[in-house]
């Protein structure tokens, strides 16, 4: 046991030492430094290319830093490249016959002319080619700012024999799929790998493949966006102020804006929704189907997944939960999942909670989930909430509606001249109410819609619901009597 503890302690100490050693930058991968590779290419037409990868290894180092130690200020800003790749070309006698980016190539110590670098696929290769047998070179890496050689001078391309195959005419050269993107005077064009221009210099930025497809290019001309094929030929004219890929629920495509109006394209660039709406919101209906809440000329409507109209754009507002509240001309109603009318937009307020209640001209109506009136067409003048029930009043009479049941299975139509709540026992589901009909009092148990004390008494009293009092272990005590007779005790279980 002691030996085991000793081994664990030594192992832990070694880990701590290695961690401290790494943090002092004694291990290369923790330093802000990078090793520069030198590649010796096989001879081609009796010429050997030698590449000292200053820039390519810097780029590999920066990519590693950004992926493993992301930060607010980019690593390239803190550690800029100090020079581009250096290229030398020598004959079989070892004489330097050409070089790029090197002032005094004769001072470099090179390996024997028979040496070639082993396959670099055995190590992490630095990217050096912009295309097969094509390498970026810079016209001037000294003036005016050597540290900014990427942006301060023209670019061209050479091959492995050192021939300048693309002249120093371009502000930028970058890879674009199987082609190249080149720029002049702030405009981009597409060039194939045979260095033939496929498009004019009319793109504002480098074309790129959009989300969800590799079959098209997103392009910008005169600050407007459109689509082109992979050769840069325009498929959809650049007419959109904004273009963004989207994928939500079971829909993928592109949201576009033209003349400040929104529309949608499918991933094959066919039109799903024309650009004629002020806003488009994706939502799920009650049947979990995808629909669109759209706004046109300040009015809302509903489109199905394919862009077909389900509700015309004539509504002031449409809710997002089922059943859907709709507003039209300042009045509210409800629509169901197929967007059929449940309750016409004729009410000042609609509240959805379990059952549905709507207010019109200061009077209330109750409805089931499928829009059927609970109150049988009667308008409720007044309602007061009481522990899961609404005490309702219509035409001077009182009744009850159970708020907690969606379709109000417990509904007692307004029929009582008075209705007062008795303090409930929350451990039980029963709810008792004093009720009066034909000037006689009784007690109503609302859960079963049963008059547990018949309406034959002239007076009734009990513990008011608002008074803090202890209930009898046997139940709630109330007292009833007829005219001037004696009080009778009644226990409510």
DSSP assignment string, 189-230: EEE-TTS-B-S-S-BSS--B--TT-SS-EEEEETTEEEEE-T
- H-run or E-run covering 8: helix 2-23
Considering the chain, what percentage of its residues have pLDDT values greater than 90? 32
Weakest mean pLDDT among 34-43, 305-314, 426-435: 426-435
**Is there a contact between 279 and 295 (Cβ–Cβ < 8 Å)?**
yes
Average pLDDT rounded to a whole number, residues 435-460: 84
Q: Is the backbone peptide bond immediately before 338 cis, with ω within 30 degrees of 0?
A: no
> Which has the higher per-residue pLDDT, 261 or 429?
261
Return the half-sphere exposure (C-beta side, CA atoms, 13 A cut-off) of residue 161. 5
Rounded Cα distance, 193 and 179, in Å: 6
Rounded Cα distance, 92 and 43, in Å: 8
Least confident range from 164-173, 185-194, 244-253: namely 244-253
pLDDT at position 191 is 94
Specify whether the CB–CB gap between 257 and 271 falls below 8 A. no
Number of residues that this document lists for the chain: 493
| Whether the predicted pLDDT of 275 surpasses 90 | yes
Q: What is the b/e burial string over 379-404, where b = at least 16 CB atoms within 10 angstroms of the residue's CB?
A: bbeebeebeebbbbbbeebbbbbbbe
Specify the pLDDT at position 468. Answer: 38
CA-closest candidate to residue 51, choices 9, 87, 94: 87
Mean pLDDT over residues 4-14, rounded? 66
The region of weakest confidence among 72-76, 187-191, 211-215, 338-342 is: 211-215
The span from the CA of 88 to the CA of 162, in Å, is: 8
Is 120 a residue whose pLDDT tops 60? no
Asked if pLDDT for residue 71 goes beyond 90, the answer is no
What is the DSSP secondary-structure string of 114-179?
A: T--PPPGGGS-PPP--SBTTBEEEES-SSSS-GGGTTTSS-EEEE-TT--EEEEEEESEEEEETTE
Band (471; pLDDT cuts 50, 70, 90): very low
CB 381 within 8 A of CB 398: no
Query: Got the DSSP string for 315-358?
Result: ESEE-SSSSEEEEETTEEEEE-TT--EEEEEEESEEEEESEEEE
What is the reported pLDDT for 114? 86
The CA distance from 178 to 215, in Å, is 12
Domain coordinates of the chain in residue numbers?
207-277, 290-340
pLDDT band at 379 (very low <50, low <70, confident <90, very high): low
Task: Return the top range by mean pLDDT from 83-87, 382-386, 478-482.
Answer: 83-87
- 103: burial class by Cβ within 10 Å (0-12, 13-18, 19+)? exposed
Higher pLDDT, 449 or 105: 105
Query: Is the per-residue pLDDT at 7 higher than 70?
Result: no
Q: Which residue has the higher pLDDT, 365 or 329?
A: 329
Residue 135 has pLDDT above 60, yes or no: yes
SS3 2: helix
* Cβ count within 10 A of residue 332: 23
Question: How many helices (H) does the chain have, and how many strands (E)?
Answer: 3, 39
- Radius of gyration over every alpha carbon of the chain, rounded to an integer in angstroms: 41
Window from 37-46, 66-75, 182-191, 230-239 with minimum mean pLDDT: 66-75
Cα separations in angstroms, 281 against 235, 264, 302, 309: 27, 11, 10, 14
CA dist 304 to 112, 289, 339, Å?
72, 8, 11
Out of 161-170, 245-254, 261-270, 305-314, least confident range? 245-254
pLDDT band at 30 (very low <50, low <70, confident <90, very high): very low
In which band, very low, low, confident or very high, does the pLDDT at 118 lie, cut at 50, 70 and 90?
confident
Rounded Cα–Cα distance for residues 399 and 412 (Å): 5
Check whether 226 has a pLDDT greater than 50.
Answer: yes
**Pick the residue with more confidence: 391 or 259?**
259
What global pTM score does this model have? 0.69
Q: Across the chain, what does the average pLDDT equal?
A: 81
Confidence of residue 410 (pLDDT cuts 50, 70, 90): low
CA distance 185 to 181: 14
456 or 259: whose pLDDT is higher?
259
Lowest mean pLDDT of 3-12, 13-22, 206-215, name the range: 13-22
């Amino acid at each position: 046991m002691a030996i085991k503890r000793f081994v664990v302690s030594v192992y832990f100490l070694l880990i701590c030492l290695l961690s401290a050693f790494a943090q002092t930058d004694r291990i290369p991968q923790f330093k802000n430094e990078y090793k520069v590779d030198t590649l010796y290419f096989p001879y081609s037409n009796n010429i050997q290319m030698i590449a000292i990868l200053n820039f390519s290894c810097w780029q590999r180092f920066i990519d590693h830093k950004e992926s493993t130690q992301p930060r607010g200020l980019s690593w390239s800003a803190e550690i800029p490249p100090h020079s581009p790749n250096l290229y030398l070309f020598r004959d079989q006698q070892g004489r330097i016959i050409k070089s790029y980016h090197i002032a005094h190539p004769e001072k470099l110590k090179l390996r024997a002319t028979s040496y070639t670098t082993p396959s670099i696929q055995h190590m992490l290769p630095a990217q050096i080619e912009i295309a097969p047998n094509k390498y970026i070179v810079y016209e001037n890496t000294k003036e005016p700012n050597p540290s900014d050689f990427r942006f301060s001078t023209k670019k061209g391309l050479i091959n492995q024999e050192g021939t300048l195959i693309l002249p120093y005419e371009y502000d930028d050269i970058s890879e674009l799929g199987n082609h190249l993107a080149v720029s002049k005077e702030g405009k981009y064009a597409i060039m194939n790998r045979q260095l033939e221009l496929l498009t004019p210099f009319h793109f504002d930025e480098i074309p790129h493949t959009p989300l969800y497809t590799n079959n098209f290019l997103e392009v910008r001309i005169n600050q407007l966006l459109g689509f082109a094929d992979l050769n840069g030929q325009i498929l959809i004219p650049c007419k959109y102020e904004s273009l963004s890929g989207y994928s939500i629920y079971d829909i993928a495509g592109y949201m576009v804006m033209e003349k400040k109006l929104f529309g949608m394209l499918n991933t094959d660039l066919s039109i799903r929704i024309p650009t004629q709406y002020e806003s488009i919101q994706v939502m799920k209906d009650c049947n979990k189907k995808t629909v669109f809440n759209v706004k046109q000329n300040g009015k809302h409507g509903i489109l199905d997944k394919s862009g077909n109209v389900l509700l015309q754009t004539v509504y002031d507002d449409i809710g997002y939960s089922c059943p859907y509240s709709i507003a039209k001309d300042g009045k509210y109603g409800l629509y169901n999942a197929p967007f059929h009318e449940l309750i016409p937009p004729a009410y000042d307020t609609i509240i959805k909670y379990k059952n549905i209640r709507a207010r019109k001209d200061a009077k209330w109506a109750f409805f089931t989930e499928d829009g059927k009136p609970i109150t049988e067409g009667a308008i409720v003048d007044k309602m007061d909430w009481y522990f899961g029930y609404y005490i309702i009043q219509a035409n001077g009479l009182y009744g009850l509606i159970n708020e907690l049941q969606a379709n109000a299975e417990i509904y007692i139509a307004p029929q009582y001249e008075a209705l007062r709540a008795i303090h409930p026992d929350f451990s039980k589901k029963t709810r008792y109410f004093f009720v009066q009909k034909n000037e006689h009092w009784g007690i109503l148990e609302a859960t079963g819609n049963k008059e547990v004390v018949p309406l034959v008494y002239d007076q009734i009293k009990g513990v008011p619901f608002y008074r803090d009092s202890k209930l009898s272990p046997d139940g709630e005590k109330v007292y009833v009597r007829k005219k001037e007779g004696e009080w009778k005790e009644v226990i409510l279980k």
